[in-house]
Amino acid sequence: MSDNKGPGGTPEPQEERRTHDRVVGTPSPAAEKQLLAVDEDPAPAGAGAQLDEDAAKRAERIVALFFLLAFAGSVAFIAYYIGWSGRDGGMHGIFRARESNFWLGGTMALSFLALAIGMTIWVRRLMTSAPIVQERHELQSDAETRAAFNQEFLEGAEDSGITKRPLLRRTLLLAAAPLGLAPLILLRDLGPLPEKRLRHTFWGEAVKKAQAEGKKGVRLVVDGTNKPLKVSDFASPGGMITVLPEGVEESHHALNEIAKSVTILINVPADQFKPAKGRENWHVNGIVAYSKICTHVGCPAALYEQTTHHILCPCHQSTFDATDAAKVVFGPAARPLPQLPLAVEDGYIVATADFPEPIGPSFWERG
Amino acid sequence: MSEATAPKAAAPKAVDAPLTFLDERLGSTTFFKRNVKKVFPDHWSFMLGEIALYSFIILLLTGTFLTLWFQPSMHETVYEGSYEPLRGVKMSQAYASTLHITFDVRGGLLMRQIHHWAAILFMASICAHMLRVFFTGAYRKPREINWLIGIVLFTLGMLEGLFGYSLPDDLLSGTGLRITQGVLESLPLVGTYGYMFLFGGEFPEGMNGELIPRLFTLHILLLPGIFLALITAHMMIMWHQKHTAMPVKNQTEEQVYGYPFYPVFMAKTGAYFLFTFGVLALLGAFAQINPIWQFGPYDPGAISSGSQPDWYMGVLEGSLRIMPNWEITAWGHTLSLNVLIPALGPLGIIFTGAALWPFLERWVTGDNRSHHVNDRPRNAPVRTGVGMAAVTFYGLLWLAGANDVIAERFHVSLFATTWFFRVTVIIGPILAYIITKRVCLGLQRSDANVIGHGVESGIIVASPDGRFSERHEPAREEERITILSKENARPEAPATDANGIPAPGTKGPLGVLRSRLQRAWTFDDIAVEEHEHGNGHEGHELEAGKSDKELRH
Amino acid sequence: MTRTGISVKRITAWRRRPWAGYAVVLAALAAIAGIYAGFSPQTDSAEAANNTQAAADLQNGQQLFNKNCASCHGLRGEGTKDAKGNPLAPSLLGVGAASVDFQVATGRMPAMNPGAQMPRKEPIPEFNTQIKTDYHDPEKRAQAEKQKAQAEKNIADLREYVASMGGGPPVPTKEQVGDPQKGDAALGGKLFRTNCAQCHNFTGQGGALTGGKYAPPLSKSDVTPTQIYEAMLTGPQAMPVFNDTTLTEKDKQAIIAYVVQSREEPNPGGNGLGRIGPVSEGLAGWLIGMGLLVLAAMWITAKKPKKLKKS
């Protein structure tokens, strides 16, 4: 019999396994016959009080082996940490991080898993507790107790006078109400009120400043290199680049301003460009600028296909048509990307006004 | 080493002294005595919830480690650390300190990865555990409170996860926050106020970089505190009510059968904690998760393809993706149904539905008893069908959240995947309900067969007149007990009694609805009953074979 | 180096002017005149040799073009349209040598069958410059090397021929492409995430576009720095153009440095799970994490082996 027991705790005899399966599954016809003849009781599953001593010894040794393995794992973890990971000035950079993660994680996993396996074999092969039966008691208290409690509760209420004295009761409630509201009031300073913040971007501010200096508008600079763009720089049809208003990096709350004013500049072949009504002079030979912030929930919609002229948002796949005022072609966005009016000044592409509408996702007050 | 048990007489001093100390002060021995042999029934699916419990403990441990270095600050700094490709790049201190944990703190990357994997497993195991509880009817009276706690835990877990993975302030999580902002903005009336109040101003920095510190406090203090309280309550209620049992031999509504808490269950659950930690360490060591150094620091103008949230937010992502672009603008106000419906609808349906379900079921079936032995899913076809419909609904929306990855990996049209999900998310759950119910009823039928006519033995018998039939044997004891755990539908009470007076509880529109639903719950139930004689007596093979055929056709 | 940069800039800028078309035609005529001139016997011998060589190359290019390209792009590279007037194959006038080099060297052209997108594949033998040459057998090696040299020459001839039809950006030089190990990967990362990652993913694993198209992965080592440069310069298929005046040579070198360095970077945390972000992480969590733990739970709660009982 003992030949059935090997390491790893998986040596359940064949028939036993099938018996186990059949409880849940549909009956398997062929093996059934033989099983039925064996009149034994598989339910008590536990080892019972008695163990086959030889088998138990063997199991004990296996468990001990796993515990020793766990010990070795932890020792290796500590040894690696103290003795090896700190060499040449400690762990810095990607290669050492990889090495350290491998050894620390590997030894840690080894010791936890070995301990877990050892314990499981211990429970399964050495613990002699037999299954027992326990009563499930009715959870509800008995009627007498409930009645007694109700009685006491009502008496208490009576004694306190709260049932008899309505003035007391009502003023107490009155006092409690604003007290509950007070902490909510405290949260008011979490942030400023929206006011008109969502309605304009740094483009407007920058254009105003430029026009005050007698210029036509503000230059567009490449996001990342801050290079102002000339018309001739951006003359390849099918071109696309992310631009910002010049000077936005130096503005107060630069990141907030960039998050609203980031814009894509696209060179649509002039023969395929259909300027929208009232926006005939907003482009420069097919060079057109749209807000990069998707009107759905605000991801940067930046995926431009120069063959179809679609602008796709990689988050939720709203698709806009760059040739046709960024109208929505597909997806969950409801409104076109706002367009930035462009012009040329000294050969540079400039924006002559802010976006005509609030950029980004819709909001209640948007209208 | 386990054999070193004490003799039956007095316990050794090392055991006795501390127990006496405690008992003199707390009277704790009565409590220990009562609970030391508490019975825990065995079933693998009963351990799913334990994964969540142990993941939570591991989250607390690893999370504490991470807070020792993490700086929850959005203030800008220039990275000068040891990860070469980002040297000289402007980033927030939160991102820089996460890089520091990753590349300069020994074991930091491992703890980060274990923490993140534990979060994934925490949510996954809650999900699996809730499915187990639902499909076996373990939420029924008296366990509704624990069911509700579970739903709250899962919902808060989503928030906790979102806040947690947003803390490093990398490009991917920043994109997630941007979407959070967009969704918040879409709320009617209060949207922009909510947005300004959460971010302390405008996205992403507010007036003074408020967001990350706020998320940090919520993530490490408030939400874990609530978790701790709810998990404790969950465990105490479970302990008090005793665990449900599967409908197998020895398990009854009155008695629970299994191994005692001490020493067997204690060792088992201890081993399982070690397994959980071990698997998480394995994942942390060999599977890279959330490589923020590859994502780069947050930059409002940048985005990556395949920007997905962690799996438990995938449903929201998918709903947002497949929603048609409905938006209403009237009287100077905008209502973005294209954001509102996906943000609130699907999870609203699933969570509200799940929370109401135990009470709804109790009302419909009129079953006000306490249940401690679980149902087999097949024996409650409507429940199982509804569950599968919900799983399909959730699963399709979840998959839709990865539609770009699907389109890219299998080279199908992106828009086609969107349309596929738009259609299947409506049809799929209905089909799932119908199919599941049919499967359940089929299984009931085969159960009835096993009980009524026995099990096919695989032995073909030729009768004297040349007919062949298969001999049927009676089912084994265990099997019969499991199959007979089914509670057959009671005969429907007539809507009116002999005098034409409606039965109580069937009056009014609600009463009518209730009786209709009750009928839907039970009308196609297949009775599984023991016949007086049909229990595999010798000499009944032919009949058994015949009626078997009749039953099938 | 700078000079070439400027000339590319100029050409790119000029070829979009209204008169560019005429200029192209004139240039083409001049080129043809040049070919004829090459045949004329009056020139002095050295020049004649050069010209004859050039003419032979161009002729080789033309033959290759007629054989491999003209069926779709037309004999003069003017492009073709289907019955409804939808373009089948784009015009090659003005696409330039860089574009030809990119399309042919990556095996995208000649295309085998029309689809939403021309996939990268092993180039046909005539243009396959990636064939194995490390044979031990010297004869075999010599033959392979010869074949490779021929393929390189074929591509060069073809791109010269196509360039002769309409100009366009030339193949970037070694100096232009730069050394990917030396570029400014920090700047490159920023530019990549702003302009490239939306399609190609943060580590260049590629991503989906509309209509079954996709942004190809940049993460394999057969995507050479020159090809990345050419792709930015010419905007193949759905990809937008990033010319040298928008993203300068230095910017492009930075981007190439980022792409190459990040794909060569190891994954410190173990297996990178495809480097595509949370989708594969969720899958691994459910399948591996939950899978292993469910197995463990089954083992722990399975019935004890019967054989333990003393019998």
For the beta carbon of residue B447, count every other beta carbon within 10 angstroms. 24
| pLDDT, greater one: A8 or B510 | B510
CA A231 to chain centre: 42
Tell me the pLDDT of chain B averaged across its residues: 87
Region of poorest pLDDT, from A304-318, A326-340, B531-545, C128-142: B531-545
| pLDDT, greater one: A278 or B489 | A278
**Cα distances (Å, whole numbers) of residue C280 to B171, B179, B404, B405:** 18, 21, 13, 10
Contact B195 A194 (CB under 8 A): yes
B contacts of C278 (beta carbons < 8 Å): 172, 290, 308-311
Residue of B nearest to C203 (CA): B294
Please give the pLDDT value at position A18.
Answer: 38
B contacts of A258 (beta carbons < 8 Å): 300-301
- Domain B36-302 sits in CATH at 1.20.810.10
- Token readout for A87 is 């060499």
**In this complex, which chains have at least 3 CB pairs below 8 Å with chain C?**
A, B
- B&C contacts, CB < 8 Å: 194
Q: Say if A14 is an interface residue toward chain C (CB within 8 Å).
A: no
Q: Say if A235 is an interface residue toward chain C (CB within 8 Å).
A: yes
Give strand ranges (E) for B313-467: 328-330, 333-335, 455-462
Contact C186 B415 (CB under 8 A): no
| pLDDT band, residue B467 (cuts 50/70/90) | confident
> How is residue A289 annotated by DSSP?
E
Say yes or no to pLDDT of A49 above 70.
no
- Token readout for A102 is 């491998």
Per-residue pLDDT, averaged over B332-336, amounts to: 86
Say yes or no to pLDDT of A66 above 80.
yes
- Token readout for C189 is 């990362």
Say yes or no to pLDDT of B433 above 60.
yes
C contacts of B121 (beta carbons < 8 Å): 285, 289-290, 293
A contacts of C213 (beta carbons < 8 Å): 305
| pLDDT, greater one: A340 or B495 | A340
Q: Say if A6 is an interface residue toward chain C (CB within 8 Å).
A: no
Q: What are the extents of the domains in chain B?
A: 36-302, 437-487+503-552
**From the list A33, A116, A328, which residue is nearest B271 (CB)?**
A116
Please give the pLDDT value at position A137.
Answer: 84
Per-residue pLDDT, averaged over A248-273, amounts to: 89
DSSP structure string for B520-552: HHHTT-------SSTTT-TT-HHHHHHHHHHHH
SS3 labels along B46-64? HHHHHHHHHHHHHHHHHHH
First vs last C-alpha separation in chain A: 82
Say yes or no to pLDDT of B3 above 70.
no
Q: Say if B323 is an interface residue toward chain C (CB within 8 Å).
A: no
User: Is B92:B298 a contact under the CB 8 Å cutoff?
Assistant: yes
Region of poorest pLDDT, from C156-170, C233-247, C271-285: C156-170
Quick one: which of C156, C154, C98 has its CA closest to C124? C154
Tell me the percentage of chain A whose pLDDT exceeds 70: 86
| pLDDT band, residue B226 (cuts 50/70/90) | very high
User: Is A355:A339 a contact under the CB 8 Å cutoff?
Assistant: yes
Quick one: which of A345, A332, A329, A231 has its CA closest to A289? A231
Query: For residue range B249-293, what is the model confidence (pLDDT) as tens digits?
Result: 888 888 888 888 888 899 999 999 999 999 999 999 999 999 999
Please give the pLDDT value at position B69.
Answer: 95
Query: For residue range B49-98, what is the model confidence (pLDDT) as tens digits?
Result: 999 999 999 999 999 999 999 999 999 999 999 998 898 899 999 999 99
Please give the pLDDT value at position C2.
Answer: 41
Say yes or no to pLDDT of C70 above 90.
no
Contact A307 C309 (CB under 8 A): no
- A&C contacts, CB < 8 Å: 160
Region of poorest pLDDT, from A183-187, B234-238, B280-284, B548-552: B548-552
| pLDDT band, residue B152 (cuts 50/70/90) | very high
Contact B85 C269 (CB under 8 A): no
Please give the pLDDT value at position B386.
Answer: 94
> How is residue B502 annotated by DSSP?
B
Say yes or no to pLDDT of A67 above 50.
yes
Region of poorest pLDDT, from A286-290, B380-384, B496-500, C238-242: B496-500
| pLDDT band, residue A51 (cuts 50/70/90) | low
A contacts of C299 (beta carbons < 8 Å): 9-10, 120
Say yes or no to pLDDT of B494 above 80.
no
Please give the pLDDT value at position A41.
Answer: 38
Please give the pLDDT value at position A32.
Answer: 38
**In this complex, which chains have at least 3 CB pairs below 8 Å with chain B?**
A, C
Contact A197 B196 (CB under 8 A): yes
Say yes or no to pLDDT of B366 above 90.
no
Residue of B77, B203, B289 to mutate for A, most A C-beta atoms under 10 A:
B203
Q: What are the extents of the domains in chain A?
A: 2-125, 197-351
What is the Cα–Cα distance from C58 to C188, expressed in whole angstroms? 38
CATH superfamily of A197-351: Rieske [2Fe-2S] iron-sulphur domain (2.102.10.10)
Residue A340 phi, psi (nearest 5): -100, 125
| pLDDT band, residue A291 (cuts 50/70/90) | very high
Residue of B nearest to A140 (CA): B142
* B121 CB-side CA count, 13 A: 39
- Token readout for B52 is 């969540």
What is the Cα–Cα distance from B322 to B342, expressed in whole angstroms? 9
Contact C289 B117 (CB under 8 A): yes
Domains defined for chain C, CATH in brackets: 1-171 (1.10.760.10), 172-268 (1.10.760.10)
CA gyration radius for chain B? Answer: 29
Per-residue pLDDT, averaged over A217-227, amounts to: 90
Per-residue pLDDT, averaged over B529-538, amounts to: 53
Contact B124 C300 (CB under 8 A): no
**From the list A86, A97, A363, which residue is nearest B192 (CB)?**
A363
A contacts of C303 (beta carbons < 8 Å): 12, 16, 20, 42, 45
Say yes or no to pLDDT of A8 above 50.
no
CA distance A131 to chain B (A): 4
Residue of B nearest to C200 (CA): B305
User: Is B68:B290 a contact under the CB 8 Å cutoff?
Assistant: no
Residues paired with residue C214 on neighbouring β-strands, in sequence order: C208
Q: Say if A305 is an interface residue toward chain C (CB within 8 Å).
A: yes
Tell me the percentage of chain B whose pLDDT exceeds 90: 52
First vs last C-alpha separation in chain B: 61
Region of poorest pLDDT, from A129-133, A221-225, B171-175: A129-133
Residue of A nearest to C199 (CA): A303
Contact B82 A190 (CB under 8 A): no
Residue of B nearest to C292 (CA): B279
Please give the pLDDT value at position C25.
Answer: 65
Contact A297 B182 (CB under 8 A): yes
Residue of C nearest to A15 (CA): C306
pTM of the model: 0.86
Say yes or no to pLDDT of B138 above 70.
yes
Residue of B nearest to A103 (CA): B285
What is the Cα–Cα distance from C282 to B312, expressed in whole angstroms? 8
Contact A43 B249 (CB under 8 A): yes
Contact C273 B85 (CB under 8 A): no
CA distance B507 to chain C (A): 48
Say yes or no to pLDDT of C10 above 80.
no
Q: With both helix axes pointing from N to C terminus, report the angle between B477-484 and A14-24 in degrees, rounded to the nearest 10.
A: 20
Q: Say if A267 is an interface residue toward chain C (CB within 8 Å).
A: yes
User: Is B301:A120 a contact under the CB 8 Å cutoff?
Assistant: no
**From the list C235, C237, C251, which residue is nearest A225 (CB)?**
C251
Contact B308 C193 (CB under 8 A): no
A contacts of C239 (beta carbons < 8 Å): 306
Quick one: which of C127, B48, B194, B103 has its CA closest to A95? B103
What is the Cα–Cα distance from B406 to B412, expressed in whole angstroms? 8
Q: Map residue B277 onto helix, strand or coil.
A: helix
- The interface residues of chain C toward chain B in range 196-225, judged by CB-CB distance below 8 A, are 197-203, 205-212, 214-215
Tell me the pLDDT of chain C averaged across its residues: 80
DSSP structure string for B234-259: HHHHHHHH---B-S-TT--SSEEEEE
